[in-house]
Structure 1
Amino acid sequence: MQTIRDVVARHKAGEAIGITSVCSAHPLVIEATLRHADRRATPIVLIEATSNQVNQDGGYTGMVPSEFRDFVHGIAERAGFAADRIVLGGDHLGPNAWTRLPAAEAMAKAEVMVADYVGAGFRKIHLDCSMSCADDPVPLPERTIADRAATLCAAAERAHDGSPDDAPVYVIGTEVPVPGGAAEDLHELALTTPEDALATVALHRRLFADKGLAAAWERVIATVVQPGVEFDHEKVLDYRPDKAVALSRAIEGDERIVYEAHSTDYQTAPALAALVRDHFAILKVGPGVTFALREALWALDAIEAELIDAAERANLRAVTLGRMQAEPANWQRYYHAAGDDLERQLQYSLSDRIRYYWPDAEIVAAQERLFANLRATPPSLPLVSQYLPIAYAAVRDGRATLDPIDLIVAHVGATLDAYHGACHPHD
C-alpha cells in the first residue's frame, strides 16, 4: 500500500507527519470520519476493524471482512467520498477471538481470517499474536509471538494476488495495550525499553527471513510499543515526552519503521502532536470517537425531552441502559460497581463498552425514532447551544445543519480535529 508507505517515508525523512487510524464499526463514526477528511482535505483515511469486530465467523458486528469493506464503501458512496481515498486496516489480527482453543486450532482460524482480510482489500495488517491460547504458557514467550506473526504474514502474502504497489503493509509488536482501555485502576505505566523495542524488531526480521518473507519485511512500517499512554474508567495517563526520550530516539536508526501508538484516546491535542513528533507516527483511536458519539446521542436525548411530548419520545438513553442491563456479557468483565455507580459506569466509562450495543435492534429503533422526532420538530439554536455547543458553533459557521446526523458529525469531528492537527501540523 504505497500511500501509507509514502507517509511513513516522509516521516522518516524528518517531517513531523503522521497517520490517524480510526478503529470503529459504527456507521455514524465512519461517516463523521469521511466528512471530516473532506472538510480538512485529508488525502487518505485509514479505517480499521479489529479481529473481534470482524472475522470469518462474523465477530460482534456480524460482518466478515468483505462485508465490512462493502459497509464502509457504502457509507462513502452516500457521503460522496471517493473510495480510493480509503485505506482499510485489520487491527489485532491473530488468535485473539479463539484463545479458548488450543494454539494450533486458534492459529489455523487466524490464518483464514488474515487471508480473508487481505482478499477483501484490507491493506494495513497488524499481526498480533501476543495472547496465550488454551494450551499455551502465560505469558507467551517472545519468540513464539514473533514466529506466529511470521506465520500469519505468510498467509497474508499468499492471499494477495494484486500488483506489488498494492501489497499489504504490516505492523508488528508485542507490547499491545488491552483493546478498549484498561479494566483496572491505573496509576503509572512502564514504558517499553529501547532495548526491548529494537530486540522485537530484530527478532521479527530474523523469523520473517527464516520463512522466506524478506520481501514482506520490506513492507513492515511500524512496531507497537508502550509510550506511557492509557486510560481506565475515569482517568487518562497522558503522554510524557521527557520519559520517552530514549524510546523515541531508538527507532531513528531504522530507515523504514516508525512506532504505532495504541490507546491514544483522550490524549490532549499537544500530547498527540508530541507523540507524532517523537516517532509514534501512527495514532490509534477507537473508544475516543465512540465516546464522543455517545455524548452527542445523550445530548439529543436531552433535547428531545425538552421538545417532544412524553408519550412520543424515543427515550434512547433509557432504552440503551435497559438493553445493557438485560444483556451484560459485553461489560460485566470490566465494570464491577453496583447501583447508581454501575449506571454511571455503563454510560460514562472512558472504556466505552456501550459501543458494543449500538447495533442492538431495540436501540437502533429508538435512535431512528429520536432522529425522526428531531427532524419533525427541529431544535432551536439556543437548545443546540445548551447541549451541543461544538455542533452549535458548526451550525453558526455554516458547516452543519440542525439535522441530528449533522449535529453528531460536528461533535465527533472535534475529536478528529485534534488527531488531524497532530498528524498534519502545517495544515
Structure 2
Amino acid sequence: MSILQQLSSSFLSGLPIGIYSVCSAHPLVLEAAVRQAVVDRTPLLIEATSNQVNQFGGYTGMRPADFREFALRIATAHGLPVERLILGGDHLGPNPWQHLPADDAMQHAQNMVAEYSRAGFTKIHLDASMACLGEQTPLPDSVVAERAARLCRAAEEASGGQPRYYVIGTEVPVPGGATESLAGLEVTTYAHAARTLQIHREIFFAAGLGDVWPRVIALVVQPGVEFNHDSVVDYDSSKTVPLRRLLRDDVGLVFEAHSTDYQRPRAYKELVSDGFPILKVGPALTFALREVLFALQLIENELVPAEKCSNLSGVVERQMLLHPAHWVKHYHGTSDRQRLLRRYSYSDRIRYYWTQPEIQAAVNVLMSNLEGLAIPETLLSAEMPPEYLAVREGSLRATPHELIIHRIQQAIRPYAAACIRN
C-alpha cells in the first residue's frame, strides 16, 4: 500500500506518519533529498509545478515525461529504489494560462494534467482556484469544483488504469510565498473546509467520478503557516483545533500544508500530529543552496587570485537585473530594498535563474576553483559554521559538492524527522 493511502488511517490510529514534498527542479536539491531518503530508508515525494513543467516545457524546459526521467536518473544514481520514488504534480490547473479565456486555459490545463498522469505522476494536486481572463476573483467554489472534476477526468483517462491520488482545495496559498503583509493571516475555518469537500464530492459524483472519490486523499487548507520576503508566520497548533475536527467527521482525508518553509523544527512534528502530514517545501531548499554557494564564493575569494574568481554573486545580480521578469512583480521599494530582496528574500526568486548559462558557467568556475584545494578549517568556521562542525566531527568531507549537499540536507532534516514514525 502506498504511503499516500496510509496517511489518514495512521492519523486516526494515533500513530501518525507524514511525507514531505520536495518542490524543486534543481539537480543538487534533488540529489540532497534522494540521499536523505536513502539514509532514512523512506519514500521520497518529488513534485513539479505547472509553471516548472508542462506540455510547453515550463520554465525548466521539461515536459512531464522529461521530468520523470530527470528525477529517476538522480534517484538511481544515488541508490534510491525506484519503487520508493513518488512523483507529484503541484498546482495543476490553469495557473500558467490565467491570461487566456477560461475555456482555452482549461483546455491547456486538461492536456497538461493528462501528460502528467500518462508520465506516471501518481499524486496530483487539482488546482483550479485561479481566475482566468475576465473572471472575478475569488471564483465560486462550485466553479472551482467543476473545473477540478474536468481535470480529474483527464488524469484518469490518461492513467493507463494505474491509480492516481488527488489533492483538492480552494483555499490555496500563493505558490512560492506571499508578497504582502502577513498580519491578517487566518486559519481555514471548519465551515469553509466542510463546504469545499461537500461541493467537490457532489460535483465529482454528478460527473461520474464517484469511484475516484476514495482516491481524493487530501484537502489543501491554510493552517496558519506562511512566509513573505522577510518574515515567517509560525504554526500555532491551538488555532487549528476547530478545523481538525473535520478529519474525524470526514474519515479518509488528511490536510496538505503548503508554504511550510522556514518553520521551526517542532512545528513540523506538530503539523503531522495534527493531521497535516503532507508538508510542502520548496524555496527553503533553494534558499539553502544560495546560502552555501555564496559562502563558498567568500572562501574562493580568500584562496584564489581575484582574476580567476567566479564572482558568482555579481553574475547572479547582473543577470537578475538584465532579466527581471521573475522578480520585478514581487520585490518592491527602493533600489537598495530591491537589491537586498533579490539576494536574501525568503521567497528566493533566485531559484528561477540557476539554469541561466552565465550563472551556470560561474557556478562551474566556483566549483572548479575549489575542487582541488584543501579548504582550511578556519575558513569553514568563518563562512560555514554548520559545515565546519560536521567536518570537525568527521562526518563530512570538505569538498564543495559535499558541503552543498550538507547545507541543503540541513533544511530537509527537520521535515524528515517529523515524518518518520517514532
What is the TM-score when the length of structure 1 is the normalising length?
Answer: 0.96
Letter of the 1:178 partner, please give it. Answer: V
Return the match for 1:317 from 276, 293, 313: 313
Equivalent in the alignment of 1:409:
405
- Out of 273, 284, 297, the residue aligned to residue 288 of structure 1 is 284
8 Å contact 2:286–2:348 — kept in the other structure? yes
Residue 125 of structure 1 contacts residue 171 of structure 1 at CA under 8 Å; is this kept in 2?
yes
Moved more, 24-33 or 416-425: 416-425
Matches within 5 A, 1:158-237: 158-163=157-162, 167-237=163-233
Which amino acid letter does the alignment assign opposite residue 10 of structure 1? S
Deviation, structure 1 residue 376: 2.0
Q: Retained in 2: the 8 A contact 1:226–1:261?
A: yes
Q: Distance in 2 between matches of 1:400 and 1:7?
A: 34
> 3-state DSSP class of the match of 1:135?
coil
Helix, strand or coil for the counterpart of 2:60?
coil
Q: Where in structure 2 are the equivalents of 1:2-401 lying within 5 Å?
A: 2-41=2-41, 43-163=42-162, 167-401=163-397
Retained in 2: the 8 A contact 1:11–1:18?
Answer: no
CA distance in 2, matches of 1:77, 1:9: 31
The unaligned stretches of length 5 or more in structure 1 are none
CA shift digits 1:100-147 (9 cap, x unpaired): 110000000000000000111100000000000003222211100011
Moved more, 130-139 or 346-355: 130-139
Q: Which moved more, 1:149-158 or 1:69-78?
A: 69-78
Q: Of 410, 413, 418, which residue of structure 2 is paired with 1:422?
A: 418
Distance 1:301 1:180 in 2: 26
What is the SS of the residue equivalent to 2:245?
Answer: helix
Kindly provide the CA deviation profile for residues 29-54 of structure 1, in whole angstroms up to 9, marking residues without a partner as x: 0000011112222x200000000000
Give 1:185 shift.
2.3
> Which structure 2 segments of 5+ residues have no match?
none
Taking structure 2 as the reference length, the TM-score comes to 0.97
Q: Give the C-alpha shift of residue 397 in structure 1.
A: 3.8
Contact 2:7 2:254 in 1 (8 A): no
Kept in 2: contact 1:111–1:155 (CA 8 A) = yes
Shift of 1:425: 4.9
| Deviation by residue 1:155-206 (Cα, 9 ceiling, x = unmatched) | 000001144xxx1100000100111111112213111110111111111111
Please say which of residues 295-304 and 335-344 is displaced more in the overlay: 335-344
Counterparts of 2:206 and 2:37 in 1: how far apart (Å)? 41
Q: Could you tell me whether the CA contact under 8 Å between 1:299 and 1:388 is conserved in 2?
A: yes
Question: How well do the aligned residues superpose, as a CA RMSD in angstroms?
Answer: 1.3
Runs (4+) of structure 1 moved beyond 4 Å? Answer: none
Distance in 2 separating the partners of 1:38 and 1:2:
17
Comparing 45-54 and 30-39, the one that deviates more: 30-39
Change (3 A) 1:99 1:280: same
Could you report, residue by residue, the CA deviation over 1:68-99 in whole angstroms, capped at 9, with x for unpaired residues? 11111111222232222110000000000001
Q: Which moved more, 1:242-251 or 1:232-241?
A: 242-251
Between 1:322-331 and 1:187-196, the stretch displaced more is: 187-196
Asked whether the equivalents of residues 15 and 421 of structure 2 are also in contact (C-alpha less than 8 Å), the reply is no
- Worse-matched range after superposition: 265-274 or 149-158: 265-274
Query: Partner of 2:48: helix, strand, or coil?
Result: strand
Matches of 1:396 and 1:68, distance apart in 2? 37
Aligned amino acid, residue 384 of structure 1: L
1:147 corresponds to which letter in structure 2? E
Q: Is the 8 A contact 1:385 1:392 kept in 2?
A: yes
- For residue 279 of structure 2, give the secondary structure of its aligned residue in structure 1: strand
